[in-house]
Amino acid sequence: MARHLASHVAQLAATLLVATAAIFLLLRVLPGDPAVVALGIEASPEALAAWRAEHGTDGPLVAQYLHWVGGLLTGDLGTSYVTSQELTPLVADRVQVTGILVLLGMLIALVVAVPLGTLAAVWHRNAGGVTLSAVSQVGVAVPNFLVGVLLVSLFAVRLGWLPSGGWTAPVDGLGEFWRHVLLPAVALGSVQAAIITRYVRSAVLEIMREDFLRTARAKGLTFTGALVRHGLRNAGVPIVTVVGVQIASMLIGAVVIERVFAVPGLGSLLLDSVGNRDLLAVQSVVAVLVVLVVLLNFLVDLAYTLLDPRLRRAA
Amino acid sequence: MSGGRRRGPARRRGRVHPQLVLGAVLVGLVLVTALVSLVWTPYDPEHAGAERLLPPGAEHWFGTDRFGRDVFSQVMAGAQITLLVGLVAVGIAAVVGVPLGVLAGMLQGSGRGRPAAVLMRGSDILLAFPGLLLAIVLGAVYGAGTVTAMVALGIGSIPAFARVARSGTLQVMRADYVLAARAANRGNLAIAARHVLPNIAGTVLVQCSVNFAIAVLAEAGLSFLGLGTPPPTPSWGRMLQESQQFLGVADHLAIVPGVAIAVAVLGFNLLGDGLRDVLDPRLASTGPAAEHVAVDAGTGVRHEPDGAAAEPALDLRGLTVRTQSGRALLSDLSLRVAAGERVGLIGESGSGKTMTALAALGLLPDGVSATGHVGLAGVDGNLLDRGERALARLRGREISMVFQEPMTALNPLMRVGRQVAEAMTVHGVPHGTASRRAADLLAEVGLPDGAARRYPHELSGGQRQRVVLATALANDPAVLVADEPTTALDVTVQRQVLDLVVRLVRDRGAGLLFITHDLAVVSQVCERVVVLLDGVVVEEGPVAEVFAHPRHEYTRRLLAASALEPLAVEAAGPGADGRSAATAGQSPSAPEPLIRVEDVTRTYASRGQTVHALRGVSLEVREGQRFGIVGESGSGKSTLLRIVSGLDQATSGRVASAGVDLSPAGTGRVGTAPSGGARGVGGPTASPDLGDLRAALQLVFQDPYGSLDPRMTVGDIVAEPLLNPANVRDGGPRTAAARRDAVREMLDAVGLPLDATERYPHQFSGGQRQRIAIARALVCRPRILVADEPVSALDVSVRRQVLDLLVRLADEYALTLLLVSHDLGVVRHVCDHVAVMHDGLIVEQGPTAQVYDDPRHEYTRRLRAATPLLR
């Protein structure tokens, strides 16, 4: 187990190293000298040198990379070249917003998907199961921003029950927070619910074919009892993987939803920075997103090992 | 070999798949729309000519947008960019990802795990950059646009394709037909082109379709963010984004492009799912032709059930089991098990014996239903009339069951003690009592202390079957149904488990219904026997009586096939030296062994542990011998066979087959070149000259389902070894026509019809498939035929035929036969020499009759004693 963990951590570190190097290359090296980008090609050499010294872009690239990664590790993302804002508090603030949105969306998705997916599997031979399958199939095909737009149209524009966008942090008033977070979280979660329903259905179907479920019934458990006591935990192993992968994909998908609802999350920051050509900010946000995605994959691997005793020793 | 014929599995299913059809229709709709929009749209999609924000109407079907552009025309034209982005993205991902995955899979499949892992890690790093994020980043650097979007989405999907291709390739590489191709000296490229690519094409196609859907969604998202195709080119995502300002005023502006996106995504997803279902071999349902002659129902002789006076513990009357389509799996079966009686239910695969057991417990699979009567002592009425809840109260308490496959019968995530205890707690026993009883039961079935705390994967197959047995008997049921409980176990373990079953059942006075294909096992365990053929009871009676005087023709045939007596003529000779001199023209005084193994070891690392598969094995096989290797699982017999066949390399020691030195590099090579050749003598060479070995040695594998490529015709399969010119002997078939003749001749020799060449493996039964495998092995006329458990997957009556065919062909083609089996009876039937393997060592070898009749080693004696015999 310890060796297993060690090798996973080593892999994690290697992946993060390569990924951050790729980001650095893509956003810091390829676009050219940030001083020229910031000051324009007509700037004097002295001004350029002063800018470089101020922003620490005058050393060799490897040193700059290490400095940046060191900053990532210690929580110092540097100062925006464009707005001269400290990036760390800005990004931290935005991570919270997006994090709340994504976790709430996933919670909604799971609450809907686990029972529906299980039912769809158990009823797979009758009309109820087929209907559930069909609905989830259609749900997967709907882009989440369409759901967002339609929710705004109904609840904000026509009914006027909820605001069409904006954000209130929980500390600034729970009531307002819920009014603002509900629609984007539902928009994000509903499409995920459809996706996860399909995974739950196929995992449960797979489990229903397992011999040990038949053994459990031969002991005297009813079909439902056997499914609940033996099936769901086994089906849980693949479902946990999917949840991890989907949270990662929701982090990115939230970019679009944040735009629909004008939510000041990581996605909005990313898009605004792209718009301003604020490359250091883009670099920071992308790094944070990539680190989160990689960490999620890592946690999924760990969860797998914890859930399945066969992998504990084997690994 | 035309491309059109290679469609095996897909063509098998005559039924139209609704998802596939709907998916194809939707995708077709998008495709046609895009094509039509290239030449015609109702209005110019980029021209603002009409009134603004018109609702849908006769003039403008889907209304107009804020500039007065026709929405219908825009949606039509938007299909172009959607398809273009999807096509290029999927293309990039497939073109990069598939070769990467195939390479990794082939590397790993041929034992080079490290470079394979490096390749996959590399591709996995891309997982950290989802396509949408990559598109935003690339857009920030190089400017957003169609090309950026396509490239980013493509790169982002590479790992998905690499993973799919790798796992598909690994699956193919593990199949015996790839081993057969390697044994026929086919190169890696040939294997990739002929076996891997055709077999993974289906899954890759599915991935393409699913990924297309992802790309469509992502493109729409990017356009929605303003990072996709720039205006004025129409794009669904941007139409949606622009609609936002007019929500509540002109909702059609959001709904129309939204539906268009959903239709496209739904179409590609359905198409992918449909393809997956159609291509899934598990769902391909056509069974092969029945192997045995059908016997008309009801003509069988029936004995009156014994002890009819006492109420039977289990009473099946007029039991008929049908599938949804109305096919009868069991017809009017009647069977009684008295209290304390042990009844054997005998039948071959497909005879309905498992259905009988499942019907008795109310565990029939979905879509299969039973009529008739199932009665249980002390329980009123017909069990078939009870609901699941009422049945569950009886299961495990009054009647319980042990299943065939111990490896999968237990919940892998739960400690076995709890699984045994659960059988009691569900019937109301308090937890504490149940746990204590469970520990006692596990001790009673012979598991070591502390076994209750173990997980199933920490136990061996025999131990797991003991756990299942303990579970089944936890509540002292009146009836135990055991469905092939020892078929998956080794012979010596089988013996122990059988003894245990008999003892436990006897102690409890329970009735036993014992289901098996093995007549010898029945003769050991049961008092009465019922013979089942195609869902019909053809004979029943006391075991001694039925076996001594079978009345039904099928029972007689089964008994004859089960009794594998040694083949008299060959076994009489002390060795086979005389024949070897005659066939090879060597000096009879010093015949070189055709296969020589000297002090061979094989160790490998598995999950951090060193496994000693072979621990110093020596043997010699002379030309013309029929040499058997017998041993249980884990004895090293298959490893030895692979080393002798050049498919694996020894860790140390010396090996030579057919004059080709296969010794591992670095050890002193053994000079065993036959008198005719000069190869192999002298210093170590980089790699043995396998080409000559392949022409001289061919293999037949255990699983007749896995050893034939399902996508090739039988003609192509049998001809494959001839495609490598090195395998063809002088004067052998070198043209397509000559190859065809050679294939026909071989098919004829193994007793298959000539029209078999045009058919696919799935159209043949297990025994016929094994004949095809033998034909493939012999088509280039090898000197040595190596057979790895060639009949262990076959029914009893077919087993005999295939064994006799092997012996006949060995004579006709002057073959040296090396046969590996777990079954002493099979080896005794076929071989004149035998080596007994145990724990990586040969514990005894010699002429079969001698080893069998007068075993010297303790293990051989144990093996012989454990082998069930017909009484």
Q: Give per-residue pLDDT as tens, A216-263.
A: 999 989 999 999 889 888 888 888 888 888 898 898 888 899 989 999
How many angstroms separate the CA atoms of B235 and A92, rounded? 35
Of B357-366, B441-450, B671-680, B794-803, the poorest mean pLDDT is in: B671-680
Q: Is A293 on the interface with B (CB under 8 A)?
A: yes
> How many CB atoms are closer than 10 A to CB B167?
15
Q: Are B224 and A279 a contacting pair at CB < 8 A?
A: no
Report chain A residues whose CB lies below 8 A from the CB of B245.
Answer: none
B130 contacts A249? CB cut-off 8 A: yes
Percent of chain B clearing pLDDT 70 (strictly above): 89
A214 and B363: CB-CB below 8 Å? yes
Q: What is the pLDDT of residue A186?
A: 94
pLDDT at B684: 34
Q: Find the helix or strand (DSSP H, E) in which B688 lies.
A: none
Taking Cα atoms as reference points, which of B245, A190, B522, A71 lies closest to residue B512? B522
The Cα of B105 is separated from the nearest Cα of chain A by a number of Å equal to: 20
**pLDDT confidence of residue B591:** 66
pLDDT in the model for residue B83: 92
Residue type at B733 in one-letter notation:
P
Per-window interface: A 133-192 vs B, CB < 8 A: 137-138, 140-143, 145-146, 149-150, 152-153, 157-158
B-contacting residues in A 11-40 (Cβ below 8 Å): 11, 14-15, 18-19, 22-23, 26-27, 30-31
CA angle B277, B278, B281 (to 5 degrees): 85
Tell me the one-letter amino acid at B389: R
pLDDT at B813 over 70: yes
Candidates A196, A200, A232, A204; CA nearest to A122 is A204
CB B441 within 8 A of CB B473: yes
Averaged pLDDT for residues B122-128: 80
pLDDT of residue B287: 43
Across A39-43, A111-115, B108-112, which has the greatest mean pLDDT?
Answer: A111-115
The distance of B670 to chain A (nearest Cα, Å) reads 39
Strand, helix or coil at B448? coil
The pLDDT of residue B379 is 86
Residue type, B397: R
Cα–Cα dist A145/B511, whole Å: 65
pLDDT at B15: 62
- B128 with A214: Cβ contact below 8 A: no
What are the DSSP calls for B780-843, one per residue? T--SEEEEESTTTTS-HHHHHHHHHHHHHHHHHTT-EEEEEES-HHHHHHH-SEEEEEETTEEE
CB contact under 8 A, A143 and B137: no
Nearest residue to A279 (alpha-carbon basis) of A10, A56, A29: A29
Cα nearest neighbour of A266 on chain B = B133
Distance of residue A53 Cα from the nearest chain B Cα, in angstroms = 23
Average pLDDT over residues B95-106: 92
Over 60: is that where the pLDDT of B440 sits? yes
Contact B128 A290 (CB under 8 A): yes
Does the CB of A211 have a partner CB in chain B at under 8 Å? yes
Considering only CB atoms, B133 lies closest to which of A140, A286, A297, namely: A286
Residue A296 and residue A249 in contact, taking contact as beta carbons nearer than 8 Å: no
pLDDT beyond 90 at B843: yes
Residue of chain A whose alpha carbon sits nearest to that of B250: A153
Question: Between A and B, how many residue pairs show a Cβ–Cβ distance under 8 A?
Answer: 205
Nearest CA in chain B to A310: B457
Q: What is the pTM of this model?
A: 0.81
pLDDT computed for residue A315 by the predictor: 40
pLDDT of residue B181: 85
* pLDDT score at B281: 53
* Residue of chain B minimizing CA distance to A123: B366
Cα A71 from Cα B247, distance rounded (Å) = 44
CB contacts of A150 in chain B (<8 Å) are 254-255, 258
Measure in Å the smallest separation between the Cα of A150 and chain B Cα atoms. 8
CA distance B596 to B581: 17
| Token representation of residue A184 | 């984007």
Partner B contacted by A129 (CB < 8 A): no
Query: What pLDDT digit, counting tens, does each position of B383-407 carry?
Result: 899 888 989 999 999 999 998 888 8
How far apart (Å, rounded) are the C-alpha atoms in residues B361 and B388?
10
The rounded distance, in Å, linking the Cα atoms of A17 and B370 is: 62
Q: Are A120 and A129 in contact (CB under 8 A)?
A: yes
Q: Chain B residues with CB inside 8 Å of A216's CB?
A: 411, 422
**∠ CA(B858), CA(B862), CA(B866), 5° rounding?**
170
Interchain contact A308–B (C-beta under 8 A): yes
Lowest-pLDDT choice from A44-53, A108-117, B53-62, B87-96: B53-62
pLDDT at B14 over 70: no
Tens digits of residue pLDDT in B647-706: 888 999 999 998 888 888 754 444 333 333 333 333 333 355 677 788 889 999 888 878
- B219: pLDDT strictly greater than 60: yes
Average pLDDT, chain A: 87
Higher pLDDT, B283 or B228: B228
Question: How many whole angstroms separate alpha carbon B324 and alpha carbon B364?
Answer: 12
B620 versus A7: the higher-pLDDT residue is B620
Nearest to A192 by CA among B234, B435, B803, B217: B217
Tens of pLDDT, residue by residue over B515-558, are 998 888 898 899 999 999 988 999 999 999 999 899 999 999 88
The single-letter DSSP state of residue B70 is B
Distance of CA A45 to the CA centre of its chain: 43
Contact B485, B403 (CB under 8 A): yes
Is the distance from CB of B593 to CB of B642 less than 8 angstroms? no
pLDDT of residue B3: 37
Rounded to whole angstroms, the Cα distance separating B794 from B775 reads: 17
Length in residues, chain B: 871
* Closest alpha carbon within chain A to B268: A141
Minimal Cα–Cα distance from B326 to chain A, Å?
17
Q: What's the gap in Å between the CA of A56 and the closest CA on chain B?
A: 21
Taking the C-alpha atoms of residue B433 and residue A231, their distance in angstroms, rounded to an integer, is 25
> Which whole-number Å values give the CA distances from B492 to A192, B461, B500, B824, B864, in the listed order?
53, 12, 13, 12, 9
* For range B39-49, the mean pLDDT: 81
- Report the pLDDT averaged over residues A272-292: 87
Q: Please give the span between the terminal C-alpha atoms of chain A, in angstroms, as a whole number.
A: 7
Separation CA A45–CA A39 (nearest Å): 11
Residue A3: CB atoms within 10 Å: 9
- List the Cα angle A100/A106/A112 in 5-degree steps: 135
Residue with tokens 């001809």: B719
- Beta strands B528-533 and B536-542, pairing class: antiparallel
- The bridge status of strand B816-821 relative to strand B626-630 is parallel
